[in-house]
Amino acid sequence: MKHRALLIVAGLVGAVTLAASLSVAAAGTSRPTSHATPAKSAAVAPPTVPNAAAIKAKYHGQKITFVGDAAVGNSHVRDQKLVARFSKDTGIKVTLEPHPAASDAAYSQLARNFSAKSSSIDVMMLDVVWPGAFSPYLVDLKPALGKAAKLHAQGIIQNDTIGGKLIAMPWFGDFGILYYRKDLLTKYGYSGPPKTWSQLFSMAKKIQDGEQKTNKNFYGFVFQGNSYEGLTCDALEWVASVGGGNFIDNGKVTINNAKARTILDAMRSQIGKITPQGVTSYTEEGARLPFDNGDAAFMRNWPYAYSLSQATGSAVKGKFAVTVLPHGAAGHSVGTVGGWQLGVSKYSKHRGAAIELVRYLTSPAVQKFDAIFNTNVPTIPAVARIPAVVRTNPYLTPAIANVARVTRPSKYLRQSYNEGSKDIYQGISQILTGTPAKNVLPSVASKLQRLVK
Amino acid sequence: MSSVATPAPTPRRRRRRSRLERRKSRLAWLLLLPALAVVAFVAIYPLGKTVYYSFTNQEFLAGITPTKWVGLQNYRDLYHDSIFRSAIWETIKFTLITVSVEFALGLVIALVVNSNFKGRGPMRAVMLVPWAIPTVVAAQMWRWMLDDVFGVINDAGVRLHILSHAHAWISQPSTALGAVSAVDIWKTTPFVALLLLAGLQVIPKELYEAADVDGASKLQQFWRITLPLLRPAILVTLIFRTLDALRVFDVFNVFFGNRPDTQTMAIYDQSTIVGDGHVGYGSAISVAIFLIIGLFVVIYVTFVRVTDE
């Protein structure tokens, strides 16, 4: 039968296809998953709603939707607990929906919602860089929450005040910090964490070379290298910490300067050397998972990772500490300002009930709960000084918390922020994946120049 | 494909239509009306709106900048847009790679499962498994399998000494397109095989019997009988796959997000409209994509016409 030869060849092809489809089943197990649960979840309960009886009398039975934190780490659990407490105390039914994990995707979701004048979202989380873009669609909270706003750090309140209107309330703050393995630093003879980037590079290399003998998945340094908003934050820290400016300073685009080019090229040269090659596709969780798995010596991340890395189930529990990020020989340490606000949609059908939810969620009692339960940075200075809060959030000790905070250029880019940030992170991504900075930054600078008005 | 089928021959000489004919044609229009209304609502209206927007500076966040007519400005900008040009090129490369490999593999698989062998039924079912998995899920699985640290592909490759060291298939620009194409090929080959199998099954068995009697070899039978008679199915398959590949979005989105060097036309369009908020300019991109895909359709249909004669 002449047919047979063809049949065998084709059969092999079919078998390969089958094998590929079966290997899918195995794929799910090829990545470490962290089943970490917060150590203190049982000990800390969400606070009760003050003045609940009056709220209940007024808004009982109303239904609102709250677009809260992404299912990143512990944050969604925190939202669930708070919302359940609020509903129980006030009789206001709250539908909780997590926003997409990538903040640019979360931005698009809100933009779509506002453009459609939709009433389907009442309360939403807003990134610290969004108020400028979304202010026309948000309720002025000053009449209801102006007094409460005085408790918060005034820098953030200014950020959330557009044209004299308080369009959002600070929920929690954020800034970039360096996580490091205490045990490995000791093992390789270092007395403390790196002060400069070149120290970090050489320490990471030495530790990696030593550890890879027993763990071939071990790398020196992980960070947020994917082409997304997180890379804008990380790159701002690199550039600002060597004295290369903040991308846009005093309305002038400064991103294309010699110091920026040097540090960005230095970062590129470390990709695949002290970082996994794939770090250029890592987001926050992409960096946290290997670190928690014991596969990295240093990590740049936000404070949210602290409680998760310290939780039972994490391989590095008790073995790591945090400090300020390194700086250049001439610069000083910085941390990019992150953080989230809560706003109320102008198209909400239950404005009053929505404002009460915001009042509760941004209250000192909830910030204390959030700081202890979820290691988020309080925006109320008085809360940040509570000893119990500082104990669970070591980065609130003055030596770390007083680091110079740098802001992304949202106040110059306003509603073009998303586009400008995309120009920045796409440019940095090109550099990290192999193009010299001098070939990339001029065009990034000219794109930004067009957007700065 | 309906446009391939030859229309009923029309009489050369025009003559007055009888009353019956006219009534019949009126009835035909009446019966077609609901379908036409639906098409107008779901296809023509959005398309028209997109074309309209492409001549304006419409923004996503309505109410911040007033919308006005800008004429051909968006198209002039698009002509000088180097990012869009590289997106077109990236998409065409992806299309050529995936469609040709899928077609070759799909044809082989279709021929196999069309022949008689034990376990043919289960084989036909199993081969559809990749096609049954949602693209986003499949892409995420492949992303993990291709991971440079934990990925099973690097692990197996290094253990079997096929690879000297683990590669970051997705992160490295040199292998990114290959990696994403592999996922599409893995997923869509079954679909191609299925379409071709349907074509194979309508070829009458008698032709092969006659060829056997005449002493034609299996290879001759394939070139002289199978391939010519499979031609309509092949064209439908190629058109389907080409159009699909040209507007690819999901795999690229999962693999690369907003990475600059791996944008397809659809990814660039989406990030322009939804990310940057430029609905007007994004609509011009949409229209350009529509025209590019239209060009491919015209090429295919012309090819069919030419070879039909």
Kindly report, residue by residue over A132-184, the tens digit of the pLDDT: 889 889 999 999 999 999 999 888 898 899 889 999 999 999 999 999 999 99
Helix (H/G/I), strand (E/B), else coil: A75: helix
Nearest to B151 by CA among A27, A187, A317, A294: A27
Residue A350, SS3 per DSSP = coil
**Residues contacting A360, CB < 8 A, separation 6+:** A49, A50, A82, A86, A366
Quick check: A84 contacting B, CB < 8 Å?
A: no
Contact A104 B117 (CB under 8 A): no
Find which of B108, B112, B149 to mutate to test the A interface (most A CBs within 10 Å of its CB): B149
Cα–Cα distance measured from residue A142 to residue B38, given in angstroms and rounded to the nearest whole number: 49
Question: Residue B121: what residue type?
Answer: G
Whether residue A14 and residue B127 make contact (CB cut-off 8 A), yes or no, is yes
A167 neighbors A140 (Cβ within 8 angstroms):
yes
β partners of residue A322:
A179
Q: What is the tally of helices (H) and strands (E) in chain A? A: 21, 14
Query: Tokens 């209940």 appear where?
Result: A56
DSSP A325: P
Helices (H), chain B: 19-39, 45-53, 73-79, 82-114, 120-126, 129-132, 135-145, 152-159, 173-201, 205-214, 218-221, 227-246, 250-256, 265-270, 279-308
User: What does the pLDDT look like over B271-286, one tens digit per residue?
Assistant: 998 888 899 999 999 9
Q: How confident is the model at residue B304 (pLDDT cuts 50, 70, 90)?
A: confident
Picking from A220, A225, A236, the residue whose alpha carbon sits closest to that of residue A282 is: A225
Candidates A1, A7, A29, A31: best to mutate against B (most CBs of B within 10 A) is A31
- Of B190, B256, B275, nearest to A418 by CB-CB distance is B275
Reading the block at residue A189, the tokens are 């003879």
| A269 vs B126 pLDDT, higher one | A269
E strand or H helix that includes residue A301 = strand A296-301
Q: With beta carbons less than 8 A apart as the criterion, state whether A182 and A313 touch.
A: no
* Residue B207 distance to chain A (closest CA, Å): 16
Q: Note which residues in 261-290 of chain A have CB less than 8 A from chain B.
A: 272, 276-281, 290
pLDDT on residue A27: 36
- On whether any CB of chain B is under 8 Å from the CB of A112, the answer is yes
CA-derived radius of gyration, chain A: 24
Fold classified for B86-308? MetI-like fold (1.10.3720)
Band of pLDDT at residue B5, cut at 50, 70 and 90: very low
Q: Which residue has the higher pLDDT, B216 or A71?
A: B216
* Architecture of the CATH domain A177-336+407-451: 3-Layer(aba) Sandwich (3.40)
pLDDT at B10: 53
Chain A CB contacts of B268 below 8 Å:
none
Tell if the CB–CB gap between B171 and A295 is shorter than 8 Å. no
User: How is residue B212 written in tokens?
Assistant: 């056997």
Q: Which of B150, B194, B197, B276 to mutate to test the interface with A (most CBs of A within 10 A)?
A: B150
- Measured CA to CA, the distance from residue B190 to residue B127 in angstroms comes to 6
Examine the pLDDT at B18 and tell me if it is beyond 90.
Answer: no
Q: Is A227 on the interface with B (CB under 8 A)?
A: yes
State the DSSP code for B80.
T
pLDDT for the residue B107: 95
Dig out the tokens for B278 from the structure.
Answer: 């430029």
**Residue of B141, B159, B171 to mutate when probing chain A, most A C-beta within 10 A:** B171
Q: How does pLDDT run across A365-417, given as a tens digit for each residue?
A: 999 999 998 888 999 999 999 999 999 899 999 889 889 889 899 888 888 88
What local confidence, expressed as pLDDT, does residue B30 receive? 93
* Reported ipTM exceeds the 0.90 cut: no
Q: With CB atoms and an 8 Å threshold, state whether B64 touches A136.
A: yes
In this prediction, residue A5 carries a pLDDT of 45
The domain ranges of chain B are 86-308
Q: Would you place residue B257 in the very low, low, confident or very high pLDDT band (cuts 50, 70, 90)?
A: confident
Q: Give the one of B60, B147, B258 whose C-beta lies nearest to A111's C-beta.
A: B60
> Which residue in this structure is represented by tokens 């540090």?
A263
Which of B105, B133, B149 comes nearest A13 by C-beta? B105
**Contact residues, A window 2-41, toward B, CB-based 8 Å cutoff:** 2-3, 6-7, 9-11, 13-14, 17-18, 20-21, 23-24, 26-28, 30-32
Query: Going by DSSP bridges, is the β-strand pair A252-253/A248-249 parallel, antiparallel, or unpaired?
Result: antiparallel
Q: Which residue has the tokens 């590129």?
A: A268
Least CB–CB distance from A30: residue in B115, B144, B172: B144
- The answer to whether the CB atoms of A115 and B62 lie below 8 A apart is yes
Residue A381: CB atoms within 10 Å: 12
Buried b (16+ CB within 10 A) or exposed e, A225-243: bbbbbbbbbbbbbbbbbbb
- State the alpha helices, DSSP H only, in A28-138: 52-59, 75-90, 103-115, 131-134
Residue with tokens 């062998």: B117
User: Quick one: closest CA in A to B124, which residue?
Assistant: A14
Question: Which has the closest alpha carbon to B87: B247, B241, B281?
Answer: B247
What is the chain A residue with the closest CA to B258? A227
Sketch the domain layout of chain A as residue ranges.
Answer: 52-175+338-399, 177-336+407-451
Give, rounded to a whole angstrom, the gap between the first and last alpha carbons of chain A. 77
Average pLDDT of the segment spanning B17-25: 85
Tell whether the model's pLDDT for residue B232 goes beyond 70. yes
**Yes or no, beta carbons of B172 and A17 under 8 Å apart:** no
* Contact check, Cβ <8 Å, B186/A32: no
Helix, strand or coil, per DSSP, at residue A94? strand
How many CB pairs below 8 A link A and B?
A: 153
Q: For every one of its 453 residues, what pLDDT tens digit does chain A have, with 9 covering 90 and above?
A: 445 444 444 444 444 444 444 443 333 333 333 444 444 444 578 999 998 999 999 999 999 999 999 876 688 999 999 999 999 999 999 999 999 887 778 888 898 899 889 999 999 999 999 988 898 899 999 999 999 999 998 888 988 998 899 999 999 999 999 999 999 999 999 999 999 999 999 999 999 999 999 998 899 999 999 999 999 999 999 999 999 999 999 889 999 999 999 999 999 999 999 999 999 989 998 899 999 999 999 999 999 899 899 998 999 999 999 999 999 998 999 999 999 999 999 999 999 999 999 999 999 999 999 999 888 899 999 999 999 999 989 999 988 988 988 989 988 888 888 899 999 999 999 999 999 999 999 999 999 999 986
pLDDT tens across B65-96, in order?
788 899 999 999 999 999 999 999 999 999 99
Q: What is the pLDDT of residues B283-297, one digit of tens each?
A: 999 999 999 999 998
Picking from A92, A2, A69, A78, the residue whose alpha carbon sits closest to that of residue A37 is A78
Considering only CB atoms, which chain A residues are within 8 Å of B137?
A: none
Which top CATH class is A52-175+338-399?
alpha beta
